[in-house]
Amino acid sequence: MTGPTILPLAGTLVAGGIGTLLFAAGLAKLRDHDGFLTTLAAYRLVPAALLESTAWALAGAETAMGATLLAGLAPLTAGLGAALLFVLFALAMAINLLRGRTDLSCGCLPGMAAARLSWGAVARSALLAPASLLPALTGQPASLLLRYQALAAGACLLALAIALSHLISATPAPEEHSA
Q: CA 8 → CA 38, 66, 85, 179, distances in Å?
A: 40, 18, 23, 58
- Count other Cβ atoms within 10 Å, centred on residue 132: 28
Containing 176, the helix (H) or strand (E) segment is none
Phi, psi of 105 (to 5 degrees): -70, 140
- 142: confidence class by pLDDT, cuts 50, 70, 90: confident
Distance of CA 95 to the CA centre of its chain: 18
Strand partners of residue 105: 116
- Write down the mean pLDDT value for the chain: 86
Q: For 55-97, how does the pLDDT look when each residue is reduced to its tens digit (9 = 90+)? A: 999 999 999 999 999 888 888 999 999 999 999 999 999 999 9
Beta strands in the chain (DSSP E): none
DSSP 80: H
Q: For 29-58, how does the pLDDT look when each residue is reduced to its tens digit (9 = 90+)? A: 999 999 899 999 999 999 999 999 999 999
Greatest distance between any 2 Cα atoms in the chain: 64
Does residue 178 surpass a pLDDT of 60? no
